[in-house]
Amino acid sequence: MRDYFYSYLKSDATPGAAGNMLWAFIYIMLIFMGLSIAVIAMNWLERKVLAHMQVRLGPMRVGPHGLLQPIADAIKLLIKEDIMPAEADKLVFWMAPLIVVTTAFTTFIVVPFGPQHAVTDMNIGILFMLGVSSLGVLGIVMAGWASNSHYPLIGALRSSAQMVSYEVAMGLAVVSAVLMTSLHGAGIYATGGGSGMGTLSMIEIVRAQQEQQAWFAFKFFPLGLVAMFVFAVAMVAETNRAPFDLPEAESELTAGFHTEYSGFRWSLFFLAEYSAMIAVSSILVTLWLGGWLRPFPNLLAGPTWDLVFSLFPGLTFLALAGLTSGFGALLGLIGLILFISPVRAWVQDIYWFVAKVAVFMYLYIWYRGTFPRYRFDQLMKVGWKVLLPTGLGVLIVTAIVGVL
């Protein structure tokens, strides 16, 4: 048993590839806990950041700067009465939040937090992620339909139309990034070389970026960036967030597809929405921003720079400890632990990945604070007449440049 436990630590593969069930389970649990904590943190952060953008204070009462507010809210949601509308389709109503949550969490099986920090690595990794996250819309449609009420139904109709439309643009952007993995030369404009075989596996995509010494966002300079932009817009629409939050537009549809949900079931929708946001952000980070790779791996290479960059996780926690007063000591302690050499090596990939994802999570809040909501016909126009042709054009130009 002990050997079984330690045998994985020596290998460089993911638990799935190493065939180690125990570690796969441990990873699943870690990801699950990490996600839950991230969702709680996002909840607090969103309210605080939005409040400060609107020159308010946001939650301040529960805990220092309202830090314990999400926990109070969670308790409130859990002890609320569970209401099911009398005319609702019971089974479908009951299943909808489960489907949404399950799909949102299942996508994280293939997210590579590091070369060996993923539950498993699939040959069809990115296809699996897009597929499973596209199943999430089924849950939303089911929720809206089963409520047997007008607002949820309209919300569900909008949601399904929106998701199907933006999935196309999203897929095209992803394909152009996958196409880039097949070019094995090193450098931003390098092409050809090697077998010319691309890959869909998430880990291999990041490896390809390492090999080509360029994040795909900067590959063929404007092209990768445009594809990333198309994806970044489509992913906001795909997760039903502002400015594309028409399925739950509170000024028109009260709360859209989850109007009739309350208490625990509603909190499942909440959990799913935020983990879906994290999931699509991690797709973006993996495909275009080098996944777990640290910044400037080629420019600032060498053991000294490696050391400097590996100190970042600990320094971040120390900085956070300096900012907070109450339980800052705990954060400082974590920061100090992260300076220990083996932990440092183990953690830095995860740190860079999470840091990049965190930027996009902040962007989500920022969008919500700044952009006005689209009208539905404008939304469709943006999806079909702007993003789709742009994505297609980028794909074709990438293919041509790649062949040249």
Partner 1 sequence: MAPVATPFFFYLLSGLALISGILVITRRNPVHSALALILTLLALAGIYLMLYAPFVAGVQIILYAGGIMVLFLFVIMLVNVGRAEKERQFNKQWLLAIAATVGLGIVFVRVFTSSQTLTELLKRPLAQLPETSNTQQVGFSLYGQYMLAFEIASLLLLVAIVGAVVMAKKRI
Q: Give the residues lining the site for partner 1 (CB under 8 A).
A: 16-17, 19, 89, 92, 122-124, 127-128, 130-132, 134-135, 137-138, 141-142, 145, 153, 156-157, 160-161, 163-164, 167, 197-200
d(CA 379, CA 331): 43
* CA separation for the pair 117, 286 (Å, rounded): 13
Q: State the residue for tokens 């952007």.
A: 173
Q: How far is the CB of 164 from partner 1 (least distance, A)?
A: 6
Looking at the Cβ atoms of 132 and 365, the one nearer to partner 1 is: 132
Looking at the Cβ atoms of 178 and 228, the one nearer to partner 1 is 178
How far the first Cα of the chain sits from its last, in Å, is: 55
Are 352 and 292 within 8 A, CB to CB? yes
Q: How many CA atoms lie within 13 A of 148 on its CB side?
A: 10
Nearer to partner 1 (CB atom), residue 120 or residue 267: 120
Instruction: Give the span between the Cα atoms of 235 and 288, in whole angstroms.
Output: 14
Residue 225 or 392: which CB sits closer to partner 1? 392
Nearer Cβ to partner 1 (154/293): 154
* Identity of the residue, 55 or 197, whose beta carbon is nearer to partner 1 in the bound complex: 197
Q: Please, what is the minimum distance in Å from the beta carbon of residue 237 to partner 1?
A: 15
Among residues 259 and 310, whose Cβ is nearest to partner 1? 259
Closest approach, Cβ 171 to partner 1, in A, equals 8
d(CA 57, CA 49): 9
**Shortest CB 90 distance to partner 1, Å:** 12
CB of 329 vs partner 1, minimal distance in Å: 45
- Tokens in use for 375? 């009208």
Reference 95, options 269, 249, 240; nearest CA is 269
Q: How far is the CB of 107 from partner 1 (least distance, A)?
A: 12
CA distance 372 to 259: 22
DSSP 63: S
- Locate tokens 């890959």: which residue? 199
Nearest to partner 1 of 198, 263 (CB atom): 198
Smallest distance, partner 1 to C-beta of residue 367, A: 25
Residues in the chain: 404
Rounded CA-CA distance 196/182 in Å is 5
Least distance from C-beta 82 to partner 1, angstroms?
A: 22
Contacts of 100 by beta carbon, 8 Å cutoff, 6+ apart = 136, 139, 140, 143, 268, 269, 272
Tokens of 113: 């937090």
